Amino acid sequence: MRIIEIGERFGLEQLRERTVPDPEPGPGEVRLRMRAASLNHRDLLMIRGRYNPRQPLPLVPLSDGVGVVDRLGTGVDGLCLGDRVCPALLPTWPAGEPDRAALRRGLGGPLPGVACEFVIARPEQVVPIPEHLGDFGAATLPCAALTAWTALVSHGRLRAGDRVLVLGTGGVSVFALQFARLAGARVCVTSSDQQKLERACALGAERGMNYLTEPAWGEAVRLWSEGGVDHVVEVGGAGTLAQSLRAVRVGGTISVIGVLAGTATQLDVLPILMNQVRLQGIFGGSRASFVEMNRAIAASRLVPVVDTVYPFGVEGLKAALGHLESGRHFGKIVLDYGVT
Amino acid sequence: MRIIEIGERFGLEQLRERTVPDPEPGPGEVRLRMRAASLNHRDLLMIRGRYNPRQPLPLVPLSDGVGVVDRLGTGVDGLCLGDRVCPALLPTWPAGEPDRAALRRGLGGPLPGVACEFVIARPEQVVPIPEHLGDFGAATLPCAALTAWTALVSHGRLRAGDRVLVLGTGGVSVFALQFARLAGARVCVTSSDQQKLERACALGAERGMNYLTEPAWGEAVRLWSEGGVDHVVEVGGAGTLAQSLRAVRVGGTISVIGVLAGTATQLDVLPILMNQVRLQGIFGGSRASFVEMNRAIAASRLVPVVDTVYPFGVEGLKAALGHLESGRHFGKIVLDYGVT
Amino acid sequence: MRIIEIGERFGLEQLRERTVPDPEPGPGEVRLRMRAASLNHRDLLMIRGRYNPRQPLPLVPLSDGVGVVDRLGTGVDGLCLGDRVCPALLPTWPAGEPDRAALRRGLGGPLPGVACEFVIARPEQVVPIPEHLGDFGAATLPCAALTAWTALVSHGRLRAGDRVLVLGTGGVSVFALQFARLAGARVCVTSSDQQKLERACALGAERGMNYLTEPAWGEAVRLWSEGGVDHVVEVGGAGTLAQSLRAVRVGGTISVIGVLAGTATQLDVLPILMNQVRLQGIFGGSRASFVEMNRAIAASRLVPVVDTVYPFGVEGLKAALGHLESGRHFGKIVLDYGVT
Amino acid sequence: MRIIEIGERFGLEQLRERTVPDPEPGPGEVRLRMRAASLNHRDLLMIRGRYNPRQPLPLVPLSDGVGVVDRLGTGVDGLCLGDRVCPALLPTWPAGEPDRAALRRGLGGPLPGVACEFVIARPEQVVPIPEHLGDFGAATLPCAALTAWTALVSHGRLRAGDRVLVLGTGGVSVFALQFARLAGARVCVTSSDQQKLERACALGAERGMNYLTEPAWGEAVRLWSEGGVDHVVEVGGAGTLAQSLRAVRVGGTISVIGVLAGTATQLDVLPILMNQVRLQGIFGGSRASFVEMNRAIAASRLVPVVDTVYPFGVEGLKAALGHLESGRHFGKIVLDYGVT
């Protein structure tokens, strides 16, 4: 099979393609013929060596993908040939709270990722996907969609009528917008790009907030929401946290999901204390949450927003990563494995 | 002002109308000019003396209504002349869990109800209503809507993709259907009337279940929901509980809200134990939940389903109660106080 | 190895002992040398064919035991030779909520139980036990202790100062008493035996309630608790539920755990509705809850109450089951496998 | 009556004593003869003008005290002459979540405080106190104890076996230690004073951590707790947050309660994100939580730790504030109103 891997050293230019023998499933395992993958900011950090500089190399990157069961090991229960499934981003987190080890064992680093034609997995490490989804949409679920779901639903207990602030229009953010609308919440989205704000409104956002023309957007969001939003989906990290603290209501939650705008900041803890705000770090979610999310996606026939599709291969991946890094995308960037 | 009251004894025929002096608000109180009221099954029981046979008489009945602030006592904070508000069904339950005393102090028994032209209240005992609602819709919120909200949202933590079984098409049930849809849930409604099932589906129910043609509807609901529903909104009481226990999933919740089909039953506790089912009694909700519900109603511009409107007065009330008792209604029955 | 099994038909007299080849662990599995087991009411029902009359036979009974890892299969992660562990009662329930299948796959029926000298398991199906516990105490944890913990802590969110009613002094009940005290709650225990009530008080119960001399014990408990208890640990089932409903506070919880006093009853649903009571079926718990419970047991050096110890073997088991059925025990009945 | 007030300007030296007419309760109000008060760090900030520089002056300071009902206004329900009660710190927060207004309306700023011989209140603004407490102990409950309870119990859902890190030995911290022990948790306390660490251990702390001799105490706490604590009671604020983030487990909670060591810090958000940590701002608690806490204090006969008692009066208050500022105290500093 063809695999893509980070070679001897970190860096986009170190990505290389190789052909290795097709893997076979052992007892209790299945083999997936991969059909599509999607990219996350984490993949970019991983390839650059910034996510974990001590990650042993070479490494097959990418955490998110979808495949079809094409071979069954002995004694496999609960999966059939032809089942279309996503490998879980964190395969040792079945349900409930994660332990430290489970959070540290992600696909695409330190575990081998899905940038290869076949993946071996155990049934409890994969999740069946809703039938109405195409392969490209299905490939976007394991990290981006599940992180948004965990933040808003599992931790955030989103209720109809809640007001949600979503920063930007990347993968997690667009899913957060979609899930919030699904649950009857009102959504404000920020961007510096008027066209993206219009797309967000077309997806159901009530308010688009251009942070270039509205630099004090925290206060503007507070006004829009009549006292502060219930949830902030904070992907900016250190660079936007001060404004998010302005935007959130007394007793509200800021889900700290990403660090696009930096990891360290001069933080003033007083607003957290005085307004009883909750800052909740979120990364991924459990397999049980994945199943629950898929049930909601199926019930509503929600369609993930795919920005662009690149062909599987080292050149396609490099182009896709460049596009991700540019920040010009809206929703998810996908790799097509060319299998039908 | 005109008031309707249960006279010296219980019974529909004991309802009478009187004229009494208009009340004046004391310090910290406001006066509401009532504009509409709505009926609940509880009112029927109260008037018949079945809700609480020891209730002192005479009593002004009806718990649910909407009015406009037309006079302010001294030192009133937070309300203005012209504000349109609903008195809370349980005025001494501000938030959180109720205590026994708060649950026992409901409008329309033991406290005087809203079947009168003016009501005196303190600001913390009323709730502002969404602007888009007409008076008839607003009058339906305090008991029926809030009970459905408390069951599904406050206690049930409804999530998108959840499967909800709603019994019948009375006031609480239609609100439960609407709130469940608002939150992205899938709904099955039961009725013996095909037309009502069609109306329920027009409001978003995925499945209408005719319990006459489908006497083993518990099993049918389990099949529809692929393993059992997450929530049952149980208004039938003893008469339907056995089927509801068939319909609910392992770990699911049955909100016990009403007793239309009787109060006592031969219950088998084994299914509760073996399937880890939760039976949760629900009656009304806190003022904080009322505010939260109204926020959701406003955000979604949800419109309560009003079945029929009768004129305020003892004859109108008797006719309305007869209609309620007939069970032919779909949604809420309202009294119009003829004020604009 | 020696195994005890229910033979061709159900019944205590059908229990028999056989010698079979020692099992060997496969890849990813370990072998446990069992050291002790404990009995639950469920075992009695299972052997009699009342738990599941369609259970295929023969079957090795008993769900609860403790053993030491004496052989490792290939590729085992996270367990070492000499580790002392309990097999989980429900080995496919890792954390969070159970699914239907997981609840139906218990040790000692339908899965083979621990009434044998060696047990084969995967690491995620066993739980390390606190060091300070002897083998007899450790053998009591998987069903009785975990059920009490799940009821009071995982579901019940027990808080210091809560008032807890514990019915009887069997295995689950004594653990419920101990866990409630550990968490700073006040406990009332019922029994018909004054000596057992005294033992319960010696373990920290504030009040012992003799239900023979106090037949209206529901009301008496309400008085003791100044308005009703927060939690009832209801092991009696149908026969005691009416009194439990008298004893619980508005908004309180009744954990329906067992059916010692019958499965079907004439239930009045009105008290559930009017007092917003929660009835919550509980059976066992997840592996994550087991780990959490053990942490609490270790931190407090809690010692399970062992009533009697019988020797491993078909005669010992029969005697032990007879003692369990007599109801004369206080705490747990244990089988000693004679290994040190 | 004698009152103490912050005069025309902020500052300890601006505190002055005056005699004003005794207040009388209005309709629905009661009068309390105050018997003791206790000091919080917030009082020091308020008097210095650092809590809210725009606070109108003069102001009667101090939020926490206990008094006896000595006069009843007309129409008072639920309180009798002679009842001993504490005024609630935040009198408009009955239960559930606070709104912004309720959080901003605290006793001792902006509302008049308890540094006076008589206080007027409505019954729903005061809380009866456990009988076993003396006046000095009772005076410590409204802010310090309730903040610790809200952090660990209401928000933190503390469970037996949890590991808790408590920073320092001030009022909130000692209550956090006591409540954690009451609930069966293990506690580590930090201090730079070996004698205080010994006192903490005498109160049940398992580990005392001297942060002078152990400057990397975050890591040391992680080792002690075998992977990180479940809760951190963080009173240091900006100056200690980095170490607290080292000490907390994956998925754990840091309750941000105070800002003794500064309000602004260079915060690295990565650990929050990667370890799914929750930072939760906490200030005070609802009246319902106060009642619940008192129930736990009564059940366990917990005795608050009083460090020193000063006489009521401007000189006594200045001395008490100086002692608070010195940081030499362990537990609470109290004013005695000299009433018996």
Residue C229: the pLDDT is: 98
Same domain, B131 and B155: no
Q: CA A22, CA A12: separation in Å to the nearest integer?
A: 25
pLDDT tens per residue across span A121-138: 999 999 999 999 999 999
Task: Reply yes or no on whether the pLDDT at A193 is more than 90.
Answer: yes
Other beta carbons within 10 Å of C203:
17
Q: CA D228, CA D249: separation in Å to the nearest integer?
A: 4
Nearest CB among A251, A266, A281 relative to D98 is that of: A251
Of C288, C315, C321, the C-alpha closest to C42 is: C321
Give the DSSP letter of residue B111: B
Task: Reply yes or no on whether the pLDDT at D259 is more than 80.
Answer: no
Flag if B286 and D27 touch (Cβ within 8 Å): no
- CB A91, CB A105: distance < 8 Å: yes
Give the DSSP letter of residue D155: I
D292 CB neighbours in chain C (<8 A) are: 159, 161
Q: CA B207, CA B151: separation in Å to the nearest integer?
A: 21
Same domain, B100 and B219: no
Suggest the residue from C295, C297, C300 to mutate for an interface test with chain D (most D CBs closer than 10 A): C295
Mean pLDDT (chain B, rounded)? 95
Mean pLDDT (chain A, rounded)? 95
Contact residues of B toward D, CB < 8 A: 27-28, 94-97, 286, 288
- CB D17, CB D314: distance < 8 Å: yes
Task: Reply yes or no on whether the pLDDT at C335 is more than 80.
Answer: yes
Which residues contact residue C87 at a Cβ distance below 8 angstroms, ignoring those fewer than 6 apart? C32, C65, C67, C107, C114, C119, C121, C125, C126, C142
Q: CA B79, CA B82: separation in Å to the nearest integer?
A: 9
Same domain, D188 and D94: no
Same domain, B134 and B150: no
Cβ pairs A/B, distance under 8 A: 55
In whole angstroms, what separates CA A94 from the centre of its chain? 18
Flag if A288 and C27 touch (Cβ within 8 Å): no
Alpha-helical segments (H) within C50-144: 100-103, 135-138
Q: CA B96, CA B116: separation in Å to the nearest integer?
A: 30
Nearest CB among B250, B266, B275 relative to C266 is that of: B266
Q: What is the band of C266 on the pLDDT scale with cuts at 50, 70, 90?
A: confident
Residue B290 maps to a domain: no
Residue B239: the pLDDT is: 80
Which residues contact residue C149 at a Cβ distance below 8 angstroms, ignoring those fewer than 6 apart? C175, C179, C285, C289, C292, C293, C296
pLDDT tens per residue across span A272-315: 888 999 999 999 999 999 999 999 999 999 999 999 999 999 99
Give the DSSP letter of residue B23: P
Of B44, B132, B54, B124, the C-alpha closest to B87 is: B124
C258 CB neighbours in chain B (<8 A) are: 273
What 3-state class would DSSP assign to B157?
Answer: coil
Of C270, C204, C283, C279, the C-alpha closest to C248 is: C279
CATH number at C154 reads 3.40.50.720
User: Which tokens go with C266?
Assistant: 């004439």
Orientation of helix A287-300 relative to helix A171-182, angle to 10°? 60
Same domain, C14 and C126: yes
Nearest CB among C153, C184, C292 relative to D299 is that of: C184
Nearest CB among A97, A228, A269 relative to D238 is that of: A269
Nearest chain B residue (CA) to A295: B161
Same domain, A122 and A196: no
Suggest the residue from A230, A279, A282 to mutate for an interface test with chain D (most D CBs closer than 10 A): A279
Same domain, C277 and C173: yes
B221 min Cα distance to partner chain C (Å)? 16
Nearest chain A residue (CA) to B206: A299
Among C253-267, D101-115, D182-196, which is the least confidently predicted range?
A: C253-267
A288 min Cα distance to partner chain C (Å)? 8
One-letter amino acid of D250: V
What's the mean pLDDT in B109-128? 97
Same domain, A326 and A205: no
Same domain, A209 and A224: yes
Task: Reply yes or no on whether the pLDDT at A237 is more than 80.
Answer: no
Residue D330: the pLDDT is: 97
pLDDT tens per residue across span A89-104: 999 999 999 888 999 9
User: Which tokens go with B120?
Assistant: 């005196």
C286 CB neighbours in chain A (<8 A) are: 95-96
- CB A49, CB A38: distance < 8 Å: no
Nearest chain D residue (CA) to A258: D273
Nearest CB among C159, C293, C295 relative to D296 is that of: C159
Nearest CB among B98, B272, B281 relative to C281 is that of: B272
Residue D270: the pLDDT is: 84
Q: What is the band of D261 on the pLDDT scale with cuts at 50, 70, 90?
A: low
Q: CA C316, CA C12: separation in Å to the nearest integer?
A: 12
Nearest chain D residue (CA) to C230: D292
Residue B137: the pLDDT is: 98
Torsion D107-D110-D113-D119 (CA) sign: negative
Residue B296 maps to a domain: no
A27 CB neighbours in chain C (<8 A) are: 26-27
Nearest chain A residue (CA) to B293: A161
D270 CB neighbours in chain A (<8 A) are: 259, 263-264
Q: CA A332, CA B9: separation in Å to the nearest integer?
A: 70
Flag if B250 and C98 touch (Cβ within 8 Å): yes
C293 min Cα distance to partner chain D (Å)? 8
How many structural domains is chain D composed of? 2
pLDDT tens per residue across span A147-170: 999 999 999 999 999 999 999 999
Task: Reply yes or no on whether the pLDDT at B334 is more than 90.
Answer: yes
Residue C84 maps to a domain: yes
Q: What is the band of C195 on the pLDDT scale with cuts at 50, 70, 90?
A: very high
More confident residue, C51 or B70: B70
Q: What is the band of D269 on the pLDDT scale with cuts at 50, 70, 90?
A: confident
Residue B276 maps to a domain: yes
Residue C294 maps to a domain: no
Q: CA D108, CA D96: separation in Å to the nearest integer?
A: 23
Q: CA A67, CA A113: separation in Å to the nearest integer?
A: 13
Give the chains touching D; criterion: ≥3 Cβ pairs < 8 Å: A, B, C
Task: Reply yes or no on whether the pLDDT at A259 is more than 80.
Answer: no
Q: What b/e sequence results for C75-101 when a residue is b if at least 16 CB atoms lie within 10 Å of its CB, and e otherwise?
A: ebeebeeebbbbbbbbbbbbbbbbbee
Q: What is the band of C261 on the pLDDT scale with cuts at 50, 70, 90?
A: low
Nearest CB among A97, A228, A237 relative to D269 is that of: A237
Same domain, A17 and A33: yes
Read off the pTM: 0.96
A97 min Cα distance to partner chain D (Å)? 7
Give the chains touching A; criterion: ≥3 Cβ pairs < 8 Å: B, C, D
Instruction: Please work out, in degrees rounded to the nearest 5, the angle formed at the alpha carbon of residue B132 by the alpha carbons of B129 and B138.
Output: 45
Same domain, A61 and A172: no
Which residues contact residue A216 at a Cβ distance below 8 angstroms, ignoring those fewer than 6 apart? A243, A246
Same domain, A111 and A73: yes
Residue D14 structural domain: 2-140+304-336
B91 min Cα distance to partner chain A (Å)? 23
Q: What is the band of A261 on the pLDDT scale with cuts at 50, 70, 90?
A: low
Residue A102 buriedness (CB in 10 A; 0-12 / 13-18 / 19+): middle
Residue C201: the pLDDT is: 98
**Cis status, amide bond into D58, omega within 30 of 0:** yes
What's the mean pLDDT in B168-197? 97
Residue with the two structure tokens 């920063």: A167
Residue with the two structure tokens 């919080």: D40
Nearest CB among C185, C186, C296 relative to D159 is that of: C296
pLDDT tens per residue across span C201-230: 999 999 999 999 999 999 999 999 999 999
Q: What is the band of C332 on the pLDDT scale with cuts at 50, 70, 90?
A: very high
Q: How many residues does chain B have?
A: 340
D25 CB neighbours in chain B (<8 A) are: none
User: Which tokens go with D212?
Assistant: 């002078």
CATH number at A136 reads 3.90.180.10
Q: CA D267, CA B69: separation in Å to the nearest integer?
A: 50
- CB B338, CB B311: distance < 8 Å: yes
Residue D326 maps to a domain: yes
D121 min Cα distance to partner chain B (Å)? 15
Which residues contact residue D141 at a Cβ distance below 8 angstroms, ignoring those fewer than 6 apart? D64, D66, D86, D127, D129, D290, D293, D294, D297, D304
Question: What backbone phi and psi angles, to 5 degrees, belong to C191?
Answer: -165, 165
Q: What is the band of C258 on the pLDDT scale with cuts at 50, 70, 90?
A: confident
Q: CA C32, CA C85: separation in Å to the nearest integer?
A: 8
Q: What is the band of B261 on the pLDDT scale with cuts at 50, 70, 90?
A: low
Residue C319 maps to a domain: yes
C240 min Cα distance to partner chain B (Å)? 11
Q: CA D316, CA D44: separation in Å to the nearest integer?
A: 14
Q: CA D33, CA D13: separation in Å to the nearest integer?
A: 27
Residue C291 maps to a domain: no
